[in-house]
Amino acid sequence: MQDIARLIGLTGLVMTGPLAGCVTTGDAAPSGAMARPPVLSEARPGVEASAQGDSHGLPPQTLAEGACATFFWSADSAHRLLAFENETEGFARIHALGRDNGFYTPAREGGYVTGEAFSRVYVDTDRELDVRLSGTVGETLPAGQRIERAVMRVVQPNQRTLVIPVIGVYACRGAGQAPQ
């Protein structure tokens, strides 16, 4: 393990850019307020969120007859509902930084086209929130339209970005078809 730490330290000395000059501290505690990074074998998507008590998600959401919405669940085994945007009524609920957050959004009409990029940005500087959802609109399924290769990026108060893989679906309640 020490050989790996030395290799990482040497690589840091050679690199240019934001990591230039980084060296490992061995078993010594880091100086100042910097937190020690997780052991490489323990690094997993969402670890920082879990450390902040972010083990739950949004409660189940209600979708009125004829309304359409996007839903995003964590891609881990817990499948927590992390984001819900009612595109018909123009509001979103996002679970980020250990709490549920509401946003007003422009109402949207019409469906999505398979292959197009999906992107949403929810920012509120007063609440120190910067959440971005992105992915690609996928195939239409009986329950709705998938949003593939989706991720939720949450800029934390320490300016580090937490990237959470998510599973997305666009669906309408009613006839079972997305608007044409």
Quote the tokens at residue 178.
Answer: 């997305």
Q: Which pLDDT belongs to residue 175?
A: 52
Is 90 exceeded by the pLDDT of residue 17?
no
Average pLDDT, the chain: 75
CA dihedral over 151, 72, 159, 13, signed as positive or negative: negative
For the chain, the C-alpha Rg in angstroms (whole number) is 20
Confidence class for position 109, pLDDT limits 50, 70, 90: confident
Sheet order of strands, 144-155 included: 99-104, 91-96, 81-86, 68-74, 161-172, 144-155, 129-141, 117-124
Among 156, 151, 111, which Cα is nearest to 133's?
151
User: What CA–CA distance (Å, rounded) separates 19 from 112?
Assistant: 40
> Sorting pLDDT into bands at 50, 70 and 90, what band is 69?
very high
Scan for tokens 């690589």, then name that residue: 11
Binned at pLDDT 50, 70 and 90, residue 63 comes out as confident
Tokens for 146? 């998938």
Rounded distance, CA 135 to CA 120, Å? Answer: 9
Separation of CA 123 from chain center: 14
Kindly report whether the global pTM for this prediction surpasses the value 0.75: no
Look at 46-50, 53-57, 96-100, 136-140 and tell me which has the smallest mean pLDDT.
Answer: 46-50
The residue with greater pLDDT, 109 or 8, is 109
